[in-house]
A and B are shown apart, each in its own frame.
Chain A
Amino acid sequence: MSNGSAAATTPGLDFEQPIVELEARRRALELTTQRSPAQDEELRQLKRQIAETTRQVYASLTPWQTVQVARHKDRPYTSDYLSLVFEEFVELHGDRRFGDDRAILTGWARLDSHKVLVVGHQKGRTYKERSNCFFGCAHPEGYRKAILKMKLAEKYGLPVICLIDTPGAYPGIGAEERGQSQAIAENMYEMSRLKTPIICIVIGEGGSGGALGIGVGDRVAVLEFSYYSVISPEGCAGILWKSHQYAERAATALKFTSADLLRLGVVDHVIPEPLGGAHRDHHQMALRVKQYLLRTLRELSAKSAEQLLDARYEKFRRMGVFLEDPAALEGQ
C-alpha cells in the first residue's frame, strides 16, 4: 500500500465526509473526456475547495478523531516506511528463546549512507497479515527479539530506529505465561543504557507499555496525528466510566495528542503530516520521516556514548509533574 492516492479508493472517516463528497465530484469531472470550458473552471475551483476543506477539517480534529486517523487502515505502517524511507531492509528474525513474533519487525536497513537497525511494530493490512501479527500487539518474544537485535546493533555501532505503532502489548494466556511484564520492563531497562543512538517515532498508535517497550531513546518524535497514551480511550472509558461508550470523553481527558505530548515534555518533536493526514500521501510522509531521521542521526552521531547515555537518562528522569511542599521539607 505504498502509493500516494490511498484516499481515492478508501471510504473516508465520518468527519471526512465533506472531503470525500468533493473528491467524488472531482473524480467524476476528471473522467469526463470532453470537458467544456465551464467544467474545466469547475474542476479548478473544486481542487481549491478540496484543499481548503481538508485544511479546515484537519486543523480542528478532536482527540477522538485523531485516534481514528492514527488507526486508519491506509495509514503508512512500518513496512511502508521500510520500502519508502530505506534503501534496503534485511530482516533478522527470532528471539532465540521462543519464536519470531510478527508484530515486531527487526532488521538492518540503509538510510542514505547510514547503516541502521530498524525495529518496528507491524499491524498488517490484509486479514491474514493482521491475524498473523495480532494487529500489531506483540508478545514477550517480540520485545525479546527487539532487545536482542538492539544489542547486536550496539555491538557493531549501528544506530537504532524504533517505529512505534501498536494498540498495546497482547493480552493473552501465552503472553502472561512467557512474562509480558518482565519483557517490557527489561526492554526499558536495557534501552536506557544501550550504547548507541536510539531514535523512536510514534507513527500511529502509541499504545501504553506495548509502545514504551521499544520507546526509550535519545529522541522521541511523534507524527502529527499519532497518539501516545497510558491506556486506550476505550479501556479508560471502561474502567473510569464503566462503559466503552465514553471513549470519546476519555480521549479528550487523557491529553494524548501530539500537541499535548510536546507540551508535557514527553516527546521532543512533532513531524507534520501531509495535508489531510499521512494516509493521503505516503510518499510525502515518508520523505518527512526520512528528513527527520537524517537530521537527528547527524546530531546524535556527533556525541560520545557517555554523553548519549547521560542525556538519555536525564531526559526521562525529568518527566513527571508534582509539587514539593516546603513546609513538609522543613519537618524532615
Chain B
Amino acid sequence: MPTETASQRPKRGVPEGLWIRCPGCKGSIYRKEAEKLLNVCPQCEYHFYVSALDRVRQVLDDGTFEEIDAQLRPTDPLEFADQKPYRDRLIAEQQRTGLMDAALTGLGMIRARRVAFAVTDSAFIMGSMGSVVGERLARLVERATAENLPLIIISGSGGGARMHEGILSLMQMAKVSAALARYDRTGGLFISVLTNPTMGGVAASFASLGDLVFAEPKALIGFAGPRTIKATIRLELPKGFQTSEFLLEHGFVDRIVPRSRLKSEIARAIDYCGK
C-alpha cells in the first residue's frame, strides 16, 4: 500500500530564502507573507507543507499540547536495505526532521475543548505508517475511548504503509481501524483531516474512517498513485483527478476547509456533535 510518491523527495514546505516560488501559481511569493497565512500562498491559496510541530501550533491552543508515547522508537524488524539500510535511513530522517517517526500524538485543547490529537508529517519517509505510527495512533484512539475525548487526526502521508517494515506496516492499517471501530462503539467523535498528500495505506485506513472527513483545498488524496494508475490503464488521467475537490464531488469528503479556518471548523464540529 505504499505509493510511488514515496520515492519523491519530500517537499520541505516553504523553502529557505526571502522569496519562494509557488507550485500553485508559479509566482514569486514573499516568504514572510506566506508564513503569516499559515503557509498558504497569498495569491492562489496554494497550501504549502506544514510540519507536525507547526500543525500543533496552528490547530491547538497555545501551550496545551502534551505529547504522549514519545518514548516509542522505530526499529528495523526486517533488517531491510534498499540502496540504503533502513536503520541508516531512520537516523537520517530523525536528524533532518527532529521527529522520532512520522506521527506525533498527544492531548490538547482546541478553543478550550479538550481533544486527543495526532498529526502525521509528510517529511518523515513521506509520512508513511510503520509500527511506531500505528502503535502511537492505536494508543491515542484507546486513550480517547477511555477518556471520552473527541479525536482529531491530521494526515499528511504520500507514502502510505511503509515498505521498509513490510507486512508489519500493512497490519497497522487493521490495528488502527480496529481501535477506531471500538472508539465508534462508545460514541466517540473522530474528525479526520486530509492534507496534501494522503495516499495508499493511510488513505485506505484511518484517514477514511472519520465520522467527519475534512480536506485542505487541492490536496492529493487517493488509493493508488497516479503513475501506477496511468501505467495500468494507459490513458491520461482527468484534470483534477484525486484532489480534495474530486473526492468532495464523488462523496468522500464532508467539507473542504482552508487552513485558516481549520481550527474554528473543528471546534464547531465538536459543538454540533455535543462533545
Contact = CB atoms under 8 A, between A and B. Distances in A.
A317 to B, nearest CB: 6
A229 B171 CA distance: 10
Contacts of A240: 7, 82-83, 163
Interface in A134-178: 169-173, 175-178
A320 interface: yes
Contacts of A186: 208-209
A173 B170 contact: no
B262 to A, nearest CB: 21
Given A181-B203, A181-B223, A239-B2, A321 B168 contact: yes
Nearest to A137: B232
Contacts of A313: 178, 182
B229 interface: yes
Interface string B169-212: 11111110111111011000000000000001101111111000
A261 to B, nearest CB: 6
A179 interface: yes
A280 B56 CA distance: 58
B93 to A, nearest CB: 15
Interface string B65-99: 00110111111011011110000000000000000
A324 B73 contact: yes
B166 A254 contact: yes
Interface in A194-224: 208-209, 212-213, 215-216
B178 A324 contact: no
A182 B252 CA distance: 8
Contacts of A193: 178, 181-182, 185
A332 B70 CA distance: 8
B61 interface: no
A111 to B, nearest CB: 25
B103 to A, nearest CB: 12
A212 B176 CA distance: 13
Contact of B175 (A172, A215, A236, A317): A317
A182 B247 CA distance: 11
A28 interface: no
A332 B223 contact: no
B233 interface: yes
A261 B167 contact: yes
Contacts of B52: none
B163 A189 contact: no
B6 to A, nearest CB: 5
Contacts of B172: 319-320
Contacts of B1: 208-209, 230-231
Nearest to B72: A322
Contacts of A325: 71-73
B265 interface: no
B71 A253 contact: no
Interface stretch (B10-18, B35-43, B116-124, B234-242): B234-242
Contacts of B252: 179, 181-182
Given A176-B224, A181-B222, A320-B175, A189 B73 contact: no
A96 interface: no
Nearest to B206: A185
A188 B177 contact: yes
Contact of A320 (B2, B171, B201, B241): B171
Interface of A: 169-173, 175-182, 184-186, 188-190, 192-193, 208-209, 212-213, 215-216, 228-231, 235-236, 238-242, 250, 253-256, 260-261, 264, 266, 312-313, 316-317, 319-329, 331-332
18 contacts: A170-B232, A171-B228, A173-B229, A173-B237, A181-B252, A185-B205, A230-B2, A230-B161, A230-B165, A239-B163, A241-B83, A254-B166, A260-B167, A316-B174, A317-B179, A322-B73, A322-B75, A329-B71
